[in-house]
Chains A and B, each alone.
Chain A
Amino acid sequence: MAMMRRVKEKIKKIIKRPARSKKTAVKPARKKGVTRSQGKHLSAQTQPAPVQKETLGLNEVAIEKTKFSHPQVRRVQRALPQDLPGGYGKDRMILQVRDPWWLHTYWEVTLATWDSLKQRLKDMFHGAKKSLRVYDVSHIVFNGNNAHRYFDIELAHDANNWYIDTGGPGRSWVVDYGLKLANGEFVTIVRSNVVQTPLDGPSWVTDEEWMVPDEMFGRLYGMGFGMGHTSMGKAWQERMKKALFSGILSSPGISSAGSPVKKRAKGRNFWLVVDCELIVYGATEPDAAVTVQGKPIQLRPDGTFTMRYALPDGKQVIPVQATSSDKIEVRTITPVVTRQTHTDIAVKEEPAQDHVAAAV
């Protein structure tokens, strides 16, 4: 169960909270607009992070604070810039594979390049729309014109990176960032590297020397994914249905280590914990021998002593006995302590609940 909780918590965070928390300092310029296919994904990112105090509690805030507190900085001070630069003064576009369906690209275009475009395009520049052109370049040497197909994505004005839904696993892609002019012409500003998305299922290529019947491969395939001895069709379907790559089996990674997150009761988040401890303390001659409940204890140099006990329900008889160093005198004092715990929970009905009940 604990495992499940941990994984669930993590997944919940991954799914529900992709946005950076407000405390996070780094905020690079980000896309504002969204394409149709991107809408859900991006809007989730731009919303402020929901406050998750119910699971993380105050501890999280406090711990984060301690991470930031750097009391004595004794090192040599030549101040580093506080933040990373917004750009590096290069025209560049980088394309990376996120998974079989999605790519991510980021780009930078220098002011000089924008200026020369403005000069070149003159009036046409202002009506132009910043766009991505995504080329399917599988199995070809791309020369700019020979792509199997391409599609365009119109960008928000200030976007500097984008997730692209290719809809095509197992293919090669190149992306241009450029301007789409009013007359439909596309002017490339920067071109990305080529990437290849992985297949999202088994290859249809078999090799002669190691050929394997479909039925047998299907069974192996299912077993490899830990779905028992099913036939191929079923295993493949199930993989889709169950969304095997849901992250349940993914590595919990290191953030698990030392996680101070403490899980509390579900449902209503209110809770109360009460416990009791008993401190028994006293003093005698420093050289006396003292026992508590028959067990010898250590005195401080000044003859005082303190014992601390978790106090369960019930009666505790606690004889404290001191014997003088010459063994002539023995004194005993016996506190008797009783703990009795009652628990009572009262929950008032909330008006809202009636409302919900009525609606149901």
Chain B
Amino acid sequence: MNKGYLCLVLHSHLPFVRHPEHDDFLEEDWLYEAITETYIPLIWMCEKLMEDGIDFRMTMSLTPTLISMLTDPLLQGRYMRHINSLIELAHKEIERTTWQPQFQRLAIMYVNHFCRSRDTFEKYNRNLVVAFKSFQDAGKIEVITCGATHGYFPLMDVCRDSIKAQLKTAVAHYEKHFGRKPRGIWLPECGYYPGHDEMLREVGIKYFFTDSHGILHGTPRPKYGVFAPVYCKGTGVAAFGRDLESSKQVWSSIEGYPGDYNYREFYRDIGFDLEYEYIKPYIHPDGVRINTGIKYYRITGDTPHKEPYDPGWARETAASHAGNFMFNRQKQVEYLYDMIQRKPIIVSPYDAELYGHWWYEGPQWLDFLIRKLSCDQDTIRMITPSEYLAEHPRLQVITPSMSSWGYKGYSEMWMQGANDWIYRHLHEASYRMSELAHGYPHATGITRRALNQALRELLLAQSSDWAFILGTGTHTAYAVKRTKDHLLQFNRLYEDIKANSVDEEWLEDVESRDNLFPDIDYHYHS
């Protein structure tokens, strides 16, 4: 008999970056890197687990923007170009490292990884969403949704119509891709503001997640801390609180696994290390060096000197870290079980892109962890929130506290000197969108198209990613541009609709570039 549950949650998100007007666009690489390093390795993991008959559970959010990019033919084609180029480079590397066997075996590893990635990509007809759907249909993972473009809800509270639009767009989009409605949601940036559960209930969402203090500082006090979900007062939507102890082991700068010296060093990439003329065809066409994904060193230590990466050592380390993680969860669960006389649920959410992209061995660690949990013990059972709620329908009712999983736990990451200027414009655009939705209840033809596009532009401007990038202070130009471009396009659509003078040619151009959510309905914004 198990004494508690582990709910692993991976939040997969990338903002919508798609630039048909450029042949090669740097920020599109975010997607290609994540496909090769995170999404495909996770797909391999799930496939193999199923093949081996391992009964596992994982919860995974796929944001509507990410799904839109993964299913976009232009980006799919560009990914093929990207992976083919990487395969070519890796082949050259095998030859170049003839006299350096310690690197040559890694070059061979990369050729294999990249070729397999391409095979997998083609096996699913270039549409990786299909893979995740099949794992969900098999009952192994639960795919949840997110705000349509990852807008940060607490700073949209003054225009709730926009939150509704984020949710309704997301739910409709999910339904189209997964053939059923989403049961749960990962609130963008885990950002909860009291009362927003009402809008979740309206779109049929049964549960969401908060950071620890969202539950712990809720009113009244949560009897079981974060170790049981609660129902939100007045709506009955369930909230699951993040367990920080299990988070720390993976995220923490001090105790986190990914910093182990045997793991692959992220910052040493041949895109930066190798001679310019040689690497030039594989970096940005403007000659700017970028990461290629081929990295030969391990972290080694807190020193600039790096030793060659050893996949065997790294694998052993990942296995031992998985064992350590499981041991700690077992102790935690046993202790809690005795204390609260009830089976605790440990909710461990992570950015999916942490696995593989940042922490190269992350998918291996996850694989080891799932196998060990499934085969080596029975204290802990992996569970999805839906299963938990079905088995434990009686929960305490509280009002969770405003919270996020960002810097300092609230809204500061998205509201500080570097980015607070955006809200004046975003909110005005929201009010204008509501005005349009109410003012044109039965629009048809080109006006309808313009209204729908206006909503797309508004949603795109609301992505929390732009505010986040502005807040970190690096590479802010692109984030500024995206915020402004979408707002300016929105404002023009607003004016044109009001003046009844929509320029069809221009509208077509905007539609062709910002082409996500083809079935969007501007009525969502009301």
Listed in ascending order, the chain A residues whose CB lies under 8 Å from chain B are 1-8, 10-11, 13-14, 17-21, 23-26, 28, 30, 41-42, 44-45, 49, 56, 59-60, 62-76, 78, 80-81, 83-85, 88, 90, 94, 96-100, 102, 104, 106, 108, 161, 193, 195-203, 205-207, 209-212, 216-217, 219-221, 223-229, 244-266, 271, 273, 275, 277, 293, 295, 307-312, 316
Give, as a whole number of angstroms, the nearest-CB distance from B476 to chain A: 6
* 20 contacts across the A-B interface (CB closer than 8 A): A1-B261, A3-B256, A3-B258, A4-B253, A24-B477, A63-B288, A81-B488, A84-B484, A94-B424, A193-B158, A207-B220, A207-B221, A226-B247, A244-B409, A245-B407, A245-B409, A247-B407, A251-B405, A254-B30, A308-B96
Q: Are A66 and B288 neighbours in the complex by a CB distance under 8 Å?
A: yes
Question: Which one of B223, B408, B424, B503 lies within 8 Å of A210 (CB-CB)?
Answer: B223
- 7 cross-chain pairs, A with B, having the tightest CB-CB distances, nearest first: A220-B225, A226-B244, A226-B245, A45-B417, A99-B410, A4-B253, A247-B407
Q: Are A316 and B99 neighbours in the complex by a CB distance under 8 Å?
A: yes
Listed in ascending order, the chain B residues whose CB lies under 8 Å from chain A are 11, 13-15, 21-22, 26-27, 29-30, 33-34, 92, 95-100, 103, 154-155, 157-158, 189-190, 193-194, 212-213, 215-221, 223-227, 241, 243-248, 251-254, 256, 258-259, 261, 263, 265-267, 272-273, 275, 278, 284, 286, 288-291, 299, 301-302, 304, 332, 335-336, 339-340, 351, 353-354, 357-359, 396-398, 401-403, 405-413, 415-418, 420-421, 423-425, 427-428, 465, 468-478, 480-481, 484, 487-489, 491-492, 503, 505-506, 509
**CB-CB < 8 A to B302: which residues of A?**
1
Q: Are A225 and B212 neighbours in the complex by a CB distance under 8 Å?
A: yes
Known: A8-B253, A66-B26. A310 touches B97 (CB 8 A): yes
**CB-CB < 8 A to B487: which residues of A?**
84
Q: Are B221 and A205 neighbours in the complex by a CB distance under 8 Å?
A: yes
Q: Are B95 and A307 neighbours in the complex by a CB distance under 8 Å?
A: yes
**CB-CB < 8 A to B473: which residues of A?**
13-14, 17-19, 21, 49
Q: Are A198 and B401 neighbours in the complex by a CB distance under 8 Å?
A: yes
**CB-CB < 8 A to B11: which residues of A?**
251
Q: Are B358 and A220 neighbours in the complex by a CB distance under 8 Å?
A: no
Question: Which one of B189, B190, B357, B506 lies within 8 Å of A76 (CB-CB)?
Answer: B506
Known: A94-B423, A199-B401. A223 touches B98 (CB 8 A): no
Q: Are A202 and B410 neighbours in the complex by a CB distance under 8 Å?
A: no
Give, as a whole number of angstroms, the nearest-CB distance from A97 to chain B: 6
**CB-CB < 8 A to B286: which residues of A?**
62, 65-66, 69
CA A62 – CA B412 in complex, angstroms? 29
**CB-CB < 8 A to B415: which residues of A?**
96, 98, 104
**CB-CB < 8 A to A225: which residues of B?**
212-213, 216, 244
Main secondary structure of the interface of A (DSSP, over half): loop
Q: Are B244 and A10 neighbours in the complex by a CB distance under 8 Å?
A: no
Question: Which one of A161, A203, A271 lies within 8 Å of B218 (CB-CB)?
Answer: A203
Q: Are A245 and B488 neighbours in the complex by a CB distance under 8 Å?
A: no
CA A210 – CA B223 in complex, angstroms? 6
Give, as a whole number of angstroms, the nearest-CB distance from A245 to chain B: 4
**CB-CB < 8 A to A45: which residues of B?**
417-418
Give, as a whole number of angstroms, the nearest-CB distance from B169 to chain A: 20
The closest CB in chain B to the CB of A62 belongs to B288
The closest CB in chain A to the CB of B414 belongs to A98
The closest CB in chain B to the CB of A239 belongs to B213
**CB-CB < 8 A to A216: which residues of B?**
339-340
Question: Which one of B96, B423, B427, B468 lies within 8 Å of A309 (CB-CB)?
Answer: B96
**CB-CB < 8 A to B396: which residues of A?**
207, 209-210
Question: Which one of B155, B212, B217 lies within 8 Å of A203 (CB-CB)?
Answer: B217
CA A65 – CA B425 in complex, angstroms? 26
Question: Which one of B278, B290, B340, B413 lies within 8 Å of A260 (CB-CB)?
Answer: B290
Q: Are B267 and A263 neighbours in the complex by a CB distance under 8 Å?
A: yes
Known: A26-B480, A257-B357, A310-B97. A80 touches B492 (CB 8 A): yes
CA A21 – CA B470 in complex, angstroms? 10
Q: Are B410 and A198 neighbours in the complex by a CB distance under 8 Å?
A: yes
**CB-CB < 8 A to B158: which residues of A?**
94, 96, 193
Give, as a whole number of angstroms, the nearest-CB distance from B460 to chain A: 15
**CB-CB < 8 A to A25: which residues of B?**
477, 480, 484
Question: Which one of B21, B190, B405, B503 lies within 8 Å of A78 (CB-CB)?
Answer: B503
Q: Are B220 and A74 neighbours in the complex by a CB distance under 8 Å?
A: no
Give, as a whole number of angstroms, the nearest-CB distance from A50 to chain B: 10
The closest CB in chain A to the CB of B478 belongs to A67
Q: Are A63 and B221 neighbours in the complex by a CB distance under 8 Å?
A: no
Give, as a whole number of angstroms, the nearest-CB distance from A282 to chain B: 16
Question: Which one of A2, A41, A223 lies within 8 Å of B266 (CB-CB)?
Answer: A2
CA A203 – CA B223 in complex, angstroms? 11
Give, as a whole number of angstroms, the nearest-CB distance from A15 to chain B: 10
Q: Are B265 and A2 neighbours in the complex by a CB distance under 8 Å?
A: yes
Question: Which one of B26, B289, B409, B488 lies within 8 Å of A84 (CB-CB)?
Answer: B488
Apart from A2-B267, A212-B221, A226-B244, 7 more pairs, CB < 8 Å: A70-B22, A80-B489, A96-B154, A197-B402, A254-B469, A257-B34, A259-B291
Known: A84-B487, A307-B95, A312-B99. A219 touches B339 (CB 8 A): yes
Question: Which one of B27, B275, B427 lies within 8 Å of A258 (CB-CB)?
Answer: B27
CA A7 – CA B251 in complex, angstroms? 9
Known: A76-B505, A255-B474. A99 touches B412 (CB 8 A): yes
**CB-CB < 8 A to B26: which residues of A?**
63, 66-67, 258
**CB-CB < 8 A to B354: which residues of A?**
252
CA A209 – CA B398 in complex, angstroms? 12
CA A90 – CA B427 in complex, angstroms? 12
Give, as a whole number of angstroms, the nearest-CB distance from A128 to chain B: 24
Give, as a whole number of angstroms, the nearest-CB distance from A262 to chain B: 5
The closest CB in chain A to the CB of B224 belongs to A220
Give, as a whole number of angstroms, the nearest-CB distance from B418 to chain A: 5
Question: Which one of A3, A28, A94, A226 lies within 8 Å of B253 (CB-CB)?
Answer: A3
CA A196 – CA B189 in complex, angstroms? 20
Q: Are A245 and B217 neighbours in the complex by a CB distance under 8 Å?
A: no
Q: Are B29 and A262 neighbours in the complex by a CB distance under 8 Å?
A: no
Q: Are A4 and B221 neighbours in the complex by a CB distance under 8 Å?
A: no
